[in-house]
Amino acid sequence: MFKKFTQTKVGQLENKKENKETGEKKSTAADKLPEIYREEYFGRLEKPKSGLSLVVVAVVLAILSSLTAVFVYEGFFREAVVADKSGQKIIVDKQENITVTSEERLADLSEAAGAAVVAFYQKPSATGNHFFEAEQVLGSGLVLTSDGWLVTTTGLLNKIGESKYVVVTNKNKVYEPKSVVEDPGSNLVFVKIEAKDLPVAKIGEAKTMTSGQLVYGFICNYPKVKLASLHVAEVGAPTVESTEKMTAVLWCREGYDESLLGAPIINMAGEALAVVNSKNEAVPMNYLKSILDGLLKKNKIERSVLGVNYISLAAHPKFNLQDGELIARGAMISGDKNIAAVKKGSPAEKAGLKAGDIIIAVGEDSLAADKTLGELIQSYAPGQKIKISLISGGEEKAVEVVLGKME
């Protein structure tokens, strides 16, 4: 049948030629076929309109397929190649490589941040052996300036008591203290030694820490620092605060071992956030900002006095019974059991401030969770005249106050 159909097709073509020559039309078996089989439907092939676009699409798909294969291979199958200190290549498993990198980062942190940590030892007697053993360390401190200003806490000084002591740096150099300055507004203590070119600590903000965040306590234990892994529990303050006393503390879940007394609490960025004062608390380093300049220039610390105790409404919002709204900004002047809301004879009393007033701004700075009333007051020097904006008796007003000086 296939042969017959082929002969018929050829015949059809011949008939068409004859019809063209004679002008006569002859009927053939091909005329009975459906239109789709006629010769004019197979006479020519049309060229695609855009062959270039098809090529581009094919190339793009090929590239994407190749990249996908590479990523899958790199992510799941390929081993990581690293080099040791001698330059030799070492092949390690990918997961193990992450662990090694983390340990190396911790080692770098220990070396960099630990260089600014010092140790306090009891001063050796003239007749005794001059050995500084790890178990004999009294506590630690932190280098603030390259010429020898150190910071530690009252907790360490209380432990030392009347005993004479020396300071040992990470380079194993021994110094005697030349002067000691206690901060009347916090539990920070500053010790001066005669030194130069000391590595200086980086200071961070304790308020940026979140609960559960990993930090490290640095213990300056001869011949090198030791690290204590800790987890932040909270950075907070008592309900009633003072404009003169910096009472915020950094708590860690594990508490603080006695060996951490005076030691800095440092984050993974190498920033000192606080200094350990007791087994329960560490003093935030951000208190340094308002007093460091005076300490370096005058060798003493001057704290300003407003003379109020207050409750931070950002931390402890107050429910307004009159309109049913929650007041969550400002500092409400308030006392406690044996604490007056406004101190007698203070600049605050002279300016007419009273219990229940809500201070909302100092100068151009509005109070917020990260800007407490005490911190704003201590950013001004004693004797400065400042404007305090407040809400008193339901009305907003402003008063001017000349700050006093803490004696």
164 in the same domain as 275: yes
pLDDT recorded at residue 102? 66
pLDDT digits (tens, 9 = 90+) for 259-273: 899 999 999 889 999
* Nearest in space to 175 (alpha carbons), one of 135, 120, 116, 218: 120
- Whether the pLDDT of residue 3 is over 80: the answer is no
pLDDT recorded at residue 21? 47
Q: Average pLDDT over the chain, rounded to whole?
A: 80
pLDDT recorded at residue 41? 46
d(CA 32, CA 248) in angstroms, rounded, equals: 102
pLDDT recorded at residue 12? 46
354 in the same domain as 268: no
195 in the same domain as 126: yes
pLDDT recorded at residue 86? 45
Q: What is the CATH classification number for the domain harbouring 279?
A: 2.40.10.120
| 127: confidence class by pLDDT, cuts 50, 70, 90 | low
- Whether the pLDDT of residue 83 is over 80: the answer is no
- Cα-to-chain-centroid distance, residue 201: 16
Residue 90 falls inside a structural domain: no
- Average pLDDT score over residue span 265-285: 93
176 in the same domain as 165: yes
Higher pLDDT, residue 214 or 324: 214
- Distance between start and end Cα atoms, the chain: 123
Contacts of residue 173, defined as CB under 8 A and 6 or more positions apart, other chains included, come to 195
Residue 219 falls inside a structural domain: yes
127 in the same domain as 257: yes
- Give the chain's domain count: 4
Domain span at 13: 2-40
Residue 223 falls inside a structural domain: yes
Q: Which residues pair with 182 in a beta bridge?
A: 189
Q: What is the CATH classification number for the domain harbouring 396?
A: 2.30.42.10
pLDDT recorded at residue 314? 92
Of 243, 277, 301, the residue that ends a domain is 301
342 in the same domain as 253: no
Of 78, 94, 126, the residue that ends a domain is 78
279 in the same domain as 189: yes
Neighbours of 146 (CB within 10 A): 13
pLDDT recorded at residue 402? 98
pLDDT recorded at residue 35? 53
Name the percent of the chain lying above pLDDT 90.
48
pLDDT digits (tens, 9 = 90+) for 30-58: 455 555 445 444 445 455 555 566 666 66
310 in the same domain as 297: no
Task: Say if strands 202-203 and 271-276 run parallel, antiparallel, or are unpaired.
Answer: parallel
Q: Measured at the alpha carbon of residue 296, what is the angle toward residues 294 and 297, in degrees to the nearest 5?
A: 65
- Whether the pLDDT of residue 188 is over 60: the answer is yes
401 in the same domain as 315: yes
pLDDT recorded at residue 4? 43
- Average pLDDT score over residue span 318-327: 77
* Nearest in space to 381 (alpha carbons), one of 297, 299, 304, 286: 304
pLDDT recorded at residue 34? 52
- Whether the pLDDT of residue 239 is over 70: the answer is yes
273 in the same domain as 128: yes
312 in the same domain as 260: no
d(CA 288, CA 265) in angstroms, rounded, equals: 15
Residue 96 falls inside a structural domain: no
pLDDT recorded at residue 42? 46
- Average pLDDT score over residue span 148-156: 96
| 176: confidence class by pLDDT, cuts 50, 70, 90 | very high
172 in the same domain as 256: yes
Stated pTM of the model: 0.71
Residue 103 falls inside a structural domain: no
pLDDT recorded at residue 128? 62
pLDDT recorded at residue 367? 94
Residue 386 falls inside a structural domain: yes
pLDDT recorded at residue 362? 98
d(CA 365, CA 363) in angstroms, rounded, equals: 6
pLDDT recorded at residue 93? 40
Of 258, 273, 301, the residue that ends a domain is 301
Question: With contact defined as beta carbons under 8 Å apart, do 235 and 372 qualify?
Answer: no
Higher pLDDT, residue 184 or 87: 184
Residue 91 falls inside a structural domain: no
| 174: confidence class by pLDDT, cuts 50, 70, 90 | very high
Q: Which of 70-84, 329-343, 359-373 has the lowest mean pLDDT?
A: 70-84
Residue 241 falls inside a structural domain: yes
pLDDT digits (tens, 9 = 90+) for 360-391: 999 999 998 888 999 999 999 999 999 999 99
